[in-house]
Amino acid sequence: MLKKSLPRNSIISNFTNKVTDKKTAYTLLATSMLSLGLTACLPNEKQDAKVVINKNPYPSTYQALPAQSTLLTNATILTGTGERLNDADILLVNGKVSQVGNDLSADNAKVIDMSGKWITPGIIDVHSHLGVYPNPQVESHSDGNEMTSPNTSEVWSEHSVWPQDPGFEAARAGGITSLQILPGSANLFGGRGVTLRNVPSVTMQGMKFVDAAYGLKMACGENPKRVYGSRKVLPSTRMGNVAGYRSAWLAATEYKREWDKYDADYSAGKNPKAPKRDLELDTLMGVLDGEILIHNHCYKAEEMAVMIDLGNEFNYHSGTFHHAIEAYKIADLLAANGNCAAMWPDWWGFKMEAFDMVEENAAIVDAVKNSCAVVHSDSASTIQRLNQEAAKVMYRANENGFALKEEDAIKWITANAAKSLGINDEVGSLETGKNADVVVWNTNPFSVYAQAEQVFIDGAKVYDRLDDKYQAKSDFLLGQNLDNHINKSATKLITK
Amino acid sequence: MKNTQLITSLRYALFGALAVTTSQVHAESVAITNATVYTVAEQGILSQATVVFDDGIITAVYSKDDVPESLSADTMIDAKGRILTPGFIASGNLLGLVEVGAVSATRDGSDKKADITFDASLAFNPKSTLIPYARKGGITSSLVMPHGGENVFTGQSFTVNLSGEFDSVIAQQNAVIVELGSKRKGSRAMSLQTLSNKLEDAQKALAKIEKAKTKKKKSKNTEDKEAKTPSRSEQVMYALLSGEKPLLAYVDRATDILALLKLKEQYQLDLVLVGASDAVLVSDEIAKANVTVMMSAIDNLPSSFDSLHNSLNNVAKLTKAGIKVIISNSGESYNINQLRFDAGIAIANGLAPTSALAAVTANVADSFHLNAGRIVVGKNADLVLWSSDPFEISTKVDFMWINGNAMSLRSRQDVLRQRYTTDSSMPRGYTK
């Protein structure tokens, strides 16, 4: 399919969707809610049942796969905490990392000699569209970009996830154990992202990372202004983009104030009328409440700086900047403000906002104290080799004055990625008590020849390159090339 | 050297008119000594070998024991055992035709009106910022393949070197491109039928012309009407039928591949399959027909119903079946420097390293008649000296020569990085 490959992030659409003037709609809504707020009831009235927003209506049903205590020995271990242990062992018990160190022993544990192998934490991709832009890339499957309004905060990517996307299996073979599935970048607010465990499952819920925060996808720059500008709808410019964000956060601020007042009044024994629910504003309010993390497609230095101020203006944290091609220009600012920057090593050029790529981007960001440099994929292909994506950054940086080691670079696709997703208490490093997400590599994972040999999630083996039993296959690929003939011995049985 | 004369004449024969317009300074003679030379030719891999080139052409390749004592050249380079390979040859891209994908005014790779005569080489921009960046991946030349228009015949490819000079175009209109297979609107059958009919018509017309010629000769009647001069498109079709121009066919599904093999046999086409996701299903047939396959080494997902058999080991499988494979980058041209990593991934999935090297050098050169792709006497001095294993991420290009000229490995990205990593009391804009 050489001819059909397109530059990443290009938005392919005929733009035939009818324009809905959503902005006007929610401004009116906010006004009407404001008047509702004024009719709050008197104290001591009999209270109606309290209206509570269910924040987890599609809960995870994830169960770890069957596991046994496992002791992997004699490997080179990159812990994800900046450490490298040579000739070391790691013990996985009850789905957790029990111990990491030299000369470990354990009763009742299956001991596997991993001499010559390398072990890393499970690889985490903070930016994926697996399941929402699956393969085969046919119209019927194109569920990743709700390109019908510049603000679609009400959509949740989890409702588009096709768990049979063969890309999940391919990513697992590349050591991916957790990943965030984001909506696309056509809209200023693209909707909620969901963090998944990369286990085979018939349902999205069966993959859902337990208690991981939702993400809210925002997008800066060329995509929103191109998509909506061509429809003569705001935004058609970058200033239109920012006006769009600000209008939305204003409405969300009002919405939150109403709900806070409702909760306070109710707690005070009053019987207030609950504000009218709005799915779009529910999501934005989640951000203002600090429950939903911002994941902002934003390439350029000056735009990231504006987005940081925007967060301060409306009192939320501007989160992680994705595809942050120009992060190296403002590495200090990002670190000072606690932003993660998720970057490619070398995707560039397909848009003006991707023109100022440097291969050392992640290394330059990483060099600042308190930084959070992440290497991400946004691709069903490179997600299979995120280790090599990190390797490119490391080696190009080292050719240009850096002195990065494997134990440093691995953090970009493990610990820092976990931090970006708010799951760093559970995963991202090999430390006692952390979830036992482990990848065993046949060689140094920063080699082009590296392949994940075994992958563990919560201590359970989910992939083994050398054992077909641990190689899941998507329903879609089943039976696509069956043998049309039966062998002769089988015919004999029938004719008997 | 005694065969200098021969080589010089060879060079002029090869470059023809281009040599006249060349603006390049005459390259000095260079001897690279003590190199591990991957010749991609009969000599195989030579350790502690010496390669000499003069005036842009390789003039000698000495194995360890054959190095003459009196060896001299303008420049002597001790490779210290490092690997020297032919420059890599990219293919299937829009290098020099697209600067920024999303800026439509910088896209010259397609045109609605484009047909079989479409010559995008006229739009090639040797000053594209993508070219120095591509060199950093060891790429010295490329087969550029425009996407053309809505016609089954989308135009013709051309070859360039990556010198960044105005005389970069090596050959214009060197192969005809057709796009077959699944379509969003309409049927793939129509594309195949169109191709088949055009070939048939052209063959008939050609036969008529031949007949007219012989008739004319026989009768010697000067009053016989001159045979109608064939149109530009007809001339291209005739070039296809004579095998003078290869046919580059984008195709994935096995049925389409088989249909093309049939056409190849019927019309004696010089066929190259491009994409060829399903090639593994019909590898025996392809091998038997002696057809080259140009494909991505990393497209392993079932991206369409035409490519359900994509796999990381397809290149290895096809090579094993005896098929000449060209590894080509998928996508546009920003990252063609990753060709070497794609080849490395193919190696990690079963391809022999020497086959991987041939897949990005000699195999491309053979198919498109480039005087490059091997380290043998007479070939262009398009060479890369690597810090280590060419396919490995930790490796970099240490030196590169195109037509014997040492090339810069600095791209716009390096300048940017330098600006933002250099301490200065002044705003960054002053760091240049």
pLDDT (0 to 100) of residue B429:
86
Which one, of B361, B360, B385, lies nearest residue B371 by Cα? B361
Q: How far is CA A402 from the centre of its chain?
A: 28
pLDDT (0 to 100) of residue A479:
85
* Minimum mean pLDDT range among A186-195, A210-219, B17-26, B78-87: B17-26
Q: Is the pLDDT of residue A114 over 90?
A: yes
Q: Give mean pLDDT, residues A297-314.
A: 98
Q: Is the pLDDT of residue A427 over 80?
A: yes
Confidence of residue A1 (pLDDT cuts 50, 70, 90): very low
CA angle, residues A18, A21, A23, in degrees to nearest 5 = 145
A136 cis-preceded (ω within 30 degrees of 0): yes
Confidence of residue A3 (pLDDT cuts 50, 70, 90): very low
Which one, of B417, B395, B390, lies nearest residue A395 by Cα? B395
- Tell which B residues from 343 to 382 touch A, by Cβ distance under 8 Å: 344-345, 347-348
Going B132 to B134 to B137 to B139, the CA torsion angle's sign is negative
Q: Give mean pLDDT, residues B48-53.
A: 98
CA distance B394 to A404: 12
Chain B residues close to A329, C-beta within 8 Å: 420, 428
Question: Hey, is the C-beta of B301 within 8 angstroms of any chain A C-beta?
Answer: yes
Between chain A and chain B, how many beta carbons pairs sit less than 8 Å apart? 156
Q: Give mean pLDDT, residues A29-43.
A: 46
Confidence of residue A24 (pLDDT cuts 50, 70, 90): very low
- Delimit the CATH 3.20.20.140 region(s) of chain A: 123-427
Confidence of residue B215 (pLDDT cuts 50, 70, 90): confident
Q: Give mean pLDDT, residues A409-437.
A: 98
Who wins on pLDDT, B308 or B217? Answer: B308
Answer yes or no: do B101 and A138 touch at CB < 8 A.
no
Instruction: Report which secondary-structure segment, H or E, holds A391.
Output: helix A386-398
Q: Give mean pLDDT, residues A348-360.
A: 96
Taking residue A427's Cβ as centre, other Cβ atoms within 10 Å add up to: 28
CA distance A390 to A329: 19
A235 cis-preceded (ω within 30 degrees of 0): yes
Mean pLDDT of chain B: 91
Give a three-class secondary structure readout of A160-179.
Answer: CCCCCCHHHHHHHCCCEEEE
Confidence of residue B27 (pLDDT cuts 50, 70, 90): low
Q: Domain B88-369's class?
A: alpha beta
CATH superfamily placement of domain A63-121+429-469: Urease, subunit C, domain 1 (2.30.40.10)
Contact status, residue A33 vs residue A25, Cβ threshold 8 Å: no
Question: Hey, is the C-beta of B274 within 8 angstroms of any chain A C-beta?
Answer: yes
In this prediction the pTM is: 0.89
pLDDT (0 to 100) of residue B387:
98
Chain A residues close to B130, C-beta within 8 Å: 349
Chain B residues close to A230, C-beta within 8 Å: none
* Minimum mean pLDDT range among A268-272, A381-385, B328-332: B328-332
Helix pair B188-219, B232-241: axis angle to 10 deg: 90
pLDDT (0 to 100) of residue B212:
85
pLDDT tens profile B98-149? 999 999 999 999 999 999 999 999 999 999 999 999 999 999 999 999 988 8
pLDDT (0 to 100) of residue A493:
56
Contact status, residue A241 vs residue A221, Cβ threshold 8 Å: yes
Q: Name the DSSP class of A122.
A: P
CA distance A389 to A362: 11
pLDDT (0 to 100) of residue B19:
34
- Delimit the CATH 2.30.40.10 region(s) of chain B: 1-87+373-432
Q: Give mean pLDDT, residues A131-136.
A: 97
Q: Is the pLDDT of residue A21 over 70?
A: no
pLDDT (0 to 100) of residue B119:
96
- Delimit the CATH 3.20.20.140 region(s) of chain B: 88-369
Closest B-chain CA to A332? B420
State the smallest CA–CA distance between residue A490 and chain B in angstroms. 25
CA distance A445 to A461: 19
pLDDT tens profile A157-181? 999 999 999 999 999 999 999 999 9
For domain A123-427, the question of CATH label 3.40.50.10800 is answered with no
Chain B residues close to A1, C-beta within 8 Å: 252, 275, 277, 296, 299, 303-304, 306-307, 310, 330
The DSSP bridge pattern shows strands B57-62 and B45-54 to be antiparallel
pLDDT (0 to 100) of residue B26:
55
pLDDT tens profile A249-273? 999 999 999 999 999 999 999 999 9
What are A263's strand-pairing partners? none
pLDDT (0 to 100) of residue B171:
97
CATH superfamily placement of domain B1-87+373-432: Urease, subunit C, domain 1 (2.30.40.10)
Contact status, residue B52 vs residue B77, Cβ threshold 8 Å: no
Q: Smallest Cβ distance to B101: which of A350, A400, A476?
A: A350
pLDDT (0 to 100) of residue B226:
57
Answer yes or no: do A446 and B302 touch at CB < 8 A.
no
- Tell which B residues from 147 to 176 touch A, by Cβ distance under 8 Å: 147
Q: Name the DSSP class of A316.
A: S
- Delimit the CATH 2.30.40.10 region(s) of chain A: 63-121+429-469
| Tokens 């796009």 -> residue | B179
